[in-house]
Chain A
Amino acid sequence: MIDPLIEVTDLTIGYDDVVLQEKASFEVFEGDVFAILGGSGCGKSTLLRYLVGLEEARIGEIRIAGVGRPNLEVGRPPFGVMFQSGALFGSMTVGENIGLALEQWTDLPHDAIAAVVLAKLRLVGLQGTEDKFPSEISGGMKKRAAIARALALEPSLIFLDEPSAGLDPVSAVELDELILTMNRGLNLTVVIVTHELASIFKIATRCIMLDKASKSIIARGDPKELRETSDDVRVRAFFNRLAKES
């Protein structure tokens, strides 16, 4: 049997005294494009913060590649993360943003780092922007640059928080293509938080759906199959863009 890359067991998530999800358990396998779905406020992005170690799980357990919660204060992070806003450092150029982790965590000389930065930018279709500041590029370009930054250290796992939110349809499709290319070409496991249906059906191989009211996972599996076969009215409503029944 294949060991899961990420194993979440009975995890309860929330902030302050607010509980968003209780006893969530799921697994992500190598090579997956794994989508975390659900309506606004159900805890998708919060779950992502728990997965990457920004929040500490007080109830339940998260294991990545067999190891518990990563200590972000010590050592090289075992994955890349792209935040919803891109979170590029405004005082650095795009190239410096991508080269930062390479400077910190590799022995590569400056010319080699520059070469890797240029290659990563070309990979995400941003060649020629290495000397620009984040304020000088568009929202879609910022997201691409953020993906390039997350990929700088050649992680085998990447977390993406709503990568196509706020993008025009063409940019969103291009970003989906990019994620697929990375998944297939670099054998990258992708965990993605999104509620963009087109994106889900195009790229996700497996998914879980979080529900705000029951604070639980209400569906799991292949999103296309769930759309066709799920009996749960909440799942059908989500995938078929139906309003809640009163």
Chain B
Amino acid sequence: MSRPSRFEVSTSPSARPELILEGELKFSEAALLWTNISKRLESVERNETFHFDLSNVESIDGGTMALIVHLRNELKLRGVRSDIVGAQGTVQELVHLYHGDENPIRRKRRRPKKSLDEIGERTIAFFGAVREVFGFFGDMILAVVGLLREPRTANWKEVPYLMERTGADAVPIVVLINFLVGFVMAFQGAVQLKQFGANIFVADLVGLSVTRELGPLMTAIIVCGRSGASFAAELGTMKVSEEIDALRTMGFGPMRYLVLPRALALMLVLPMLTLLADVVAIVGGLVVGIVSLDLSISAYLSETRQALSVWDVFSGVLKSVVFALAISLISCQQGFATTGGAEGVGRRTTSSVVAILFALILIDAAFTVFFFFFGL
């Protein structure tokens, strides 16, 4: 019959200090063993001798041996003369397997990076990412030029499907969000305008802000969350599973085959979604005008028509085309830059959405400043 595990530390002044282990040492009981032995070993001092006697151990498993070897190594590194002694047969084989009969190597501890190094590395990485996006844009232009020469090399047949996926499928969410945007904006405006008896100007407020700014921007943000993330994840998965390499080896340029159809589809559908968003947001404002401000439908629509020029609507649509280009460009570039496995795909999808949102705000600001200086 097997004996249960036990250990004792020899205390006799005549005998050399050692830890005597006995019985069957199992990994399932190793936690208690570790805690008790670790405590006992704290008092052992430099230049002392302290051995681990395994002569009475009947059996031991790998995990427990790993822990004993580690404790012995810790003692040795503290300057204590320590060895595993008395092991025989399979126990000795395990000592050897877990390198308990070798001198321990002091592990180098990784020092955490300094804050300044971290800031420097992040800054370099940011500009590197920006350079990569512009480089990708350059490749895209070259692909378009190549496409003009050989139109058959593009994957045109995927464009209608992509338009459906990025456009038609996004209609419900675009309608809902933009209706609420118009609705909320009219409500907020109404509270202020009521004080001056200028209720009717809610139509101007909603019409202008939606067509020039919020319609294109909100729609682009929705499309970024849906299609941008989808493109990055899809292309990222293709990249890590070597599908993109396979395309290359079969003579399909990934830029022409994968990126241009996505860019084209988005550049076609985003202006349409933006126009839809403008209309729906104005309807949202109209509902508030009727319910809360006692305006008539004809008065609200007439005021909106007077407030808006063709340019107001067109400027928003123009922005949406550039937004579409940014969304497709960044999401595809991030997808192509994916490395590693599932974690890499997740990381690139997140960074593509963040980068697109940043780019959208930046582009919107640039348009606003440009239009302001040119009086548009």
Give the Cβ gap from A83 to chain B, nearest Cβ, in Å.
12
Chain A residue contacts of B340, Cβ below 8 A:
90, 133-135
When each residue 122-140 of chain A gets 1 if its CB lies under 8 Å from chain B and 0 otherwise, what string results?
A: 1100000001011100000
Give the Cβ gap from B232 to chain A, nearest Cβ, in Å.
16
The answer to whether B62 and A151 have CB atoms under 8 Å apart is: yes
Question: Is the CB of A154 closer than 8 A to any CB of chain B?
Answer: yes
Question: Is the CB of B344 closer than 8 A to any CB of chain A?
Answer: yes
Chain A residue, CB-CB nearest to B26? A154
The answer to whether B27 and A153 have CB atoms under 8 Å apart is: yes
Question: Is the CB of A181 closer than 8 A to any CB of chain B?
Answer: yes
Of residues 146 through 197 on chain A, the ones whose CB sits less than 8 Å from some CB of chain B are 151-154, 181, 184-187
Give the Cβ gap from A185 to chain B, nearest Cβ, in Å.
4
Majority SS of interface residues in chain B?
Answer: helix
Question: Is the CB of A37 closer than 8 A to any CB of chain B?
Answer: no
Give the Cβ gap from B105 to chain A, nearest Cβ, in Å.
8
Of residues 80 through 135 on chain A, the ones whose CB sits less than 8 Å from some CB of chain B are 89-91, 106-109, 111-112, 115-116, 118-120, 122-123, 131, 133-135
The answer to whether B343 and A135 have CB atoms under 8 Å apart is: yes
Give the Cβ gap from B128 to chain A, nearest Cβ, in Å.
18
The answer to whether A185 and B66 have CB atoms under 8 Å apart is: no
The answer to whether A109 and B31 have CB atoms under 8 Å apart is: yes
From the candidates A122, A135, A153, A184, name the one contacting B339 in the complex (CB within 8 A).
A135
Interface residues on A, range: 20 to 34
Of residues 52 through 102 on chain A, the ones whose CB sits less than 8 Å from some CB of chain B are 89-91
Chain A residue contacts of B66, Cβ below 8 A:
115-116, 119-120, 123
Chain B residue, CB-CB nearest to A114? B70
Instruction: Give the complex CA separation of A20 and B110 in angstroms.
Output: 51
A116 and B67 contact, Cβ closer than 8 Å, known pairs A90-B341, A135-B341, A185-B93: yes
Listed stretches B8-16, B94-102, B115-123, B315-323; interface member: B94-102
Most buried by A among B65, B70, B90, B341: B341
Of residues 55 through 70 on chain B, the ones whose CB sits less than 8 Å from some CB of chain A are 61-63, 65-67, 69-70
When each residue 205-247 of chain B gets 1 if its CB lies under 8 Å from chain A and 0 otherwise, what string results?
A: 0000000000000000000000000000000000000000000
The answer to whether A186 and B97 have CB atoms under 8 Å apart is: yes
A106 and B31 contact, Cβ closer than 8 Å, known pairs A131-B110, A154-B62: yes
The answer to whether B70 and A115 have CB atoms under 8 Å apart is: yes
The answer to whether B70 and A119 have CB atoms under 8 Å apart is: yes
Chain B residue contacts of A123, Cβ below 8 A:
62, 66, 97-98
Chain A residue, CB-CB nearest to B339? A135
Chain A residue, CB-CB nearest to B64? A154
Instruction: Give the complex CA separation of A134 and B342 in angstroms.
Output: 11
Interface residues on B, range: 20 to 34
Chain B residue, CB-CB nearest to A108? B31
Of residues 21 through 46 on chain B, the ones whose CB sits less than 8 Å from some CB of chain A are 27-28, 30-32, 34-35, 38
The answer to whether A154 and B99 have CB atoms under 8 Å apart is: no
Chain A residue contacts of B69, Cβ below 8 A:
119
Number of A-B contacts (CB under 8 A): 80
Chain B residue contacts of A151, Cβ below 8 A:
62
Instruction: Give the complex CA separation of A115 and B68 in angstroms.
Output: 10
The answer to whether A116 and B63 have CB atoms under 8 Å apart is: yes
The answer to whether B35 and A109 have CB atoms under 8 Å apart is: yes
Chain B residue, CB-CB nearest to A135? B340
Give the Cβ gap from A90 to chain B, nearest Cβ, in Å.
3
When each residue 348-374 of chain B gets 1 if its CB lies under 8 Å from chain A and 0 otherwise, what string results?
A: 000000000000000000000000000
Chain B residue contacts of A108, Cβ below 8 A:
30-31, 34
Give the Cβ gap from B308 to chain A, nearest Cβ, in Å.
50
Most buried by A among B38, B63, B339: B63
The answer to whether A107 and B31 have CB atoms under 8 Å apart is: yes
Chain A residue contacts of B97, Cβ below 8 A:
123, 181, 185-186
Give the Cβ gap from A32 to chain B, nearest Cβ, in Å.
18
Chain A residue, CB-CB nearest to B62? A186
Give the Cβ gap from A134 to chain B, nearest Cβ, in Å.
7
A154 and B344 contact, Cβ closer than 8 Å, known pairs A108-B31, A135-B339, A185-B93: no
From the candidates B67, B342, B344, name the one contacting A115 in the complex (CB within 8 A).
B67
Instruction: Give the complex CA separation of A165 and B30 in angstroms.
Output: 35
Chain A residue contacts of B32, Cβ below 8 A:
107
The answer to whether B341 and A109 have CB atoms under 8 Å apart is: no
Instruction: Give the complex CA separation of A161 and B34 in angstroms.
Output: 34
The answer to whether B34 and A90 have CB atoms under 8 Å apart is: no
Chain A residue contacts of B62, Cβ below 8 A:
119, 123, 151, 154, 185-186
15 A-B pairs besides A106-B31, A120-B66 with CB distance below 8 A are: A112-B67, A115-B71, A116-B66, A119-B62, A119-B65, A119-B70, A123-B66, A151-B62, A153-B27, A154-B62, A185-B62, A185-B94, A186-B62, A186-B94, A187-B90
Closest 7 CB pairs of A and B: A90-B343, A119-B66, A135-B340, A115-B70, A107-B31, A154-B27, A185-B97
A-B contact pairs, 19 of them (CB 8 A): A90-B340, A90-B341, A90-B342, A90-B344, A109-B31, A112-B70, A115-B66, A116-B63, A116-B67, A119-B63, A119-B65, A119-B70, A133-B340, A135-B341, A153-B27, A153-B63, A154-B61, A154-B63, A186-B61
Interface residues of A (CB under 8 A from B): 89-91, 106-109, 111-112, 115-116, 118-120, 122-123, 131, 133-135, 151-154, 181, 184-187
